[in-house]
Structure 1
């Protein structure tokens, strides 16, 4: 079954012309039930936080934002408890340049972007695909021709120029092409701990 990824910002007419006959499924935080459950912002609850034994998060995005370390701000564990799909983002404008992602809430190392994508984001998102949305993945596998809509279409973990598309990750999961979660960056990754 072909799975395609397209921007949610495209018009219905453009999508219909590009993918004639395909079923269009929005998997963003604006999607209807049940597909909204595939959004990394969705509060599934009890998602294990990488590098943090016994700590869980409501959402994948909560983990990503909580472990992000900025020039003027360290981790923010309050993001793990957010259940509204809003108020999760932490921005450079407010906190200064990103230094990396901490190896857990109390970790002593920072992971650079690609390594954090692999060892934090991929790990957490795969967990919800396998433990919270396996029914939706099974349903997608039964469809003949599907277009998954996301705000970004970047499925390349090594491409830092655009946010990673969770729709593309769904496609890779279904097609058995999940990215390596352990592969380190060429520069080898680990940044010295903050002073």
Structure 2
């Protein structure tokens, strides 16, 4: 199996030269249908919020942003209901320094960045891969058997422990398709 991850910012010529003959698939929030459905921003709806009972979100990014806690701002449940794929981000510039992510909507514990990846993002995104885009996962598995596949994302970091840059959901897709999902 050969799935590569590359930056969406690379030119088509650069990608073609680096990965001759590969199938190149954009999986970002700017991707065409059906691949945009693999974006964490996509509003699938009914995505369980980890450690939050029956609470659900429209998107994985909504969960990630809702549970982010800043020096002056706690959980923002409004992010769970956004269906436009815009207006999801909560930034340091607007809210002050990030203290961590709350472990559940009413949890007392704040998680570190890496812990939050493992306990919030990974379970929520895996749920989407298994329950909302299983058809696309199957298509990637079939395409991967026929040759190289390149998934495009804005970041390429597939190491959950590397908190120096954002985690690439495309890298997570690649790991999942190849049955190499990171441990919790």
Q: TM-score range by the shorter chain?
A: over 0.9
Q: Which residue of 1 aligns with 2:2?
A: 2
Q: Which residue of 1 aligns with 2:73?
A: 73
Task: Quote the Cα distance in structure 2 between the aligned partners of 1:146 and 1:103.
Answer: 35
Q: Which residue of 2 aligns with 1:186?
A: none
Task: Quote the Cα distance in structure 1 between the aligned partners of 2:103 and 2:16.
Answer: 43
How far is the alpha carbon of 1:175 from its aligned partner? 1.1
* 1:102-117 paired onto structure 2 within 5 Å: 102-117=102-117
Task: Please give the root-mean-square deviation of Cα atoms over the aligned residues, in Å.
Answer: 0.5
Q: 2:173 aligns with which of 170, 175, 178?
A: 170
Q: Deviations over 1:37-79 (max 9, x none)?
A: 0000000000000010010000000000000000010000000
In the alignment, is residue 155 of structure 1 matched against residue 158 of structure 2?
A: yes
* 1:83-98 paired onto structure 2 within 5 Å: 83-98=83-98
How far is the alpha carbon of 1:7 from its aligned partner? 0.0
How far is the alpha carbon of 1:177 from its aligned partner? 1.1
Task: Name the SS of the counterpart of 1:79 in structure 2.
Answer: helix
Mind listing any 5+ residue stretches in structure 2 that lack a counterpart?
none
Q: How many pairs were matched up? A: 181
TM (normalized to structure 1)? 0.92
TM (normalized to structure 2)? 0.97
